[in-house]
Amino acid sequence: MINDAPYGTEKAYNGLRLAIALQARDNKVNVFLMADAVFCGVPKQETPPGYYNIGEMLGRVLGKGGRVAACGSCMKARGLNVEGLVKGVEQGSMALLSEWTEKCGKIHSF
């Protein structure tokens, strides 16, 4: 679970670093974006050369079979919709987060 904006702190960066490292060890990964973290899913955010790009990191997670969901009510509150997010990011809900929570072995919150 990521709860913070893509830039300004390194919470999203570190959460996605962990997700990518877990996938490299053949673990299944689901990432749920809540609050300002829904902005992590906005495509084509430009970062300075040499600086991490959250959208590209989400793409790596998705490309390795991970699931990424953005909280629907959090998106609505910020004027976002799923069509405006990185391809593969799905609209989530508390019901989906509850389901993932019940099925998973471990949860990390950033």
Residue 108: band (very low, low, confident or very high) from pLDDT cuts 50, 70, 90: very high
* pLDDT tens-digit readout, 11-55: 999 999 999 999 999 999 999 999 999 999 999 999 988 899 999
* pLDDT tens-digit readout, 45-95: 999 888 999 999 999 999 999 999 999 999 999 999 999 999 999 999 999
Q: What is the pTM of this model?
A: 0.94
**Domain boundaries, given as residue ranges, for the chain:** 11-103
Residue 105: band (very low, low, confident or very high) from pLDDT cuts 50, 70, 90: confident
**78 CB-side CA count, 13 A:** 22
Superfamily the domain 11-103 falls into = DsrEFH-like (3.40.1260.10)
Relative to beta strand 30-33, strand 67-71 is parallel
